[in-house]
């Protein structure tokens, strides 16, 4: 997703959300919406996979997710890629919902002048979201509380 800083420059956040509990498992904030940003996010997620885990990864149809490099990375990690058809946002809906929540609860309430200030706010928010933000669909638990309870 895209953010604008006080100086008019744009900043981009790439993240991967675990559909099991709604937690953000990896994220990278960068200056460009490019393959490098998406690949860094994917690499973070891949490093936490256990040997026998081969998750399904949903994405939109952006050029980063349809690139040969992205396809090679998910194949090497033995992940399965899922993209909805053009004009259908079912696969990417949960991520878009998170973007809306993040922006409403953190971004729109402040004006961030620098990349570093926005980065700190995003880090703080994702920490809060994963560990403290209670969610009705998780029986009033935060995502990581829910995961711990089930484990």
Structure tokens at 144: 């990581």
Residue 11 CB neighbours (<10 A): 20
Q: What does the DSSP 8-state code read for residue 84?
A: P
Q: Mind listing the pLDDT tens digit for each residue in 20-29? A: 999 999 999 9
What element of type H or E holds 59? strand 56-59
Structure tokens at 117: 């200030």
121 or 49, greater pLDDT: 121
Q: What is the pTM of this model?
A: 0.90
Q: Which residues contact 66 (CB under 8 A, 6 or more apart)?
A: 83
Judge whether 89 and 83 are in contact, CB under 8 Å: no
Does residue 112 register a pLDDT over 90? yes
Q: What is the per-residue pLDDT for 89?
A: 64
- The dihedral built from the CA positions of residue 99, 105, 106 and 110, taken in this order, carries a sign that is positive
Q: Mind listing the pLDDT tens digit for each residue in 64-106? A: 888 899 899 999 999 988 876 666 666 678 899 999 999 999 9
**Average pLDDT over all residues of the chain:** 91
Q: Mind listing the pLDDT tens digit for each residue in 121-142? A: 999 999 999 999 999 999 999 9
């Amino acid at each position: 997703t895209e953010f604008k800083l006080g100086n008019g420059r744009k900043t981009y956040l790439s993240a991967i959300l675990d559909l099991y509990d709604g937690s953000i498992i990896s994220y990278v904030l960068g200056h460009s919406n490019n393959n490098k940003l998406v690949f860094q996010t994917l690499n973070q997620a891949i490093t936490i996979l256990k040997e026998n885990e081969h998750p399904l990864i949903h994405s939109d149809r952006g050029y980063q997710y349809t690139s040969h490099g992205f396809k090679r990375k998910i194949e090497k990690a033995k992940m399965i890629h899922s993209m909805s058809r053009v004009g259908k946002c079912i696969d990417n809906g949960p991520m878009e919902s998170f973007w809306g929540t993040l922006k409403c609860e953190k971004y729109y309430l402040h004006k961030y002048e620098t990349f570093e200030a926005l980065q700190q706010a995003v880090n703080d928010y994702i920490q809060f979201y994963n560990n403290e933000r209670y969610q009705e669909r998780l029986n009033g638990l935060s995502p990581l509380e829910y995961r711990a309870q089930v484990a």
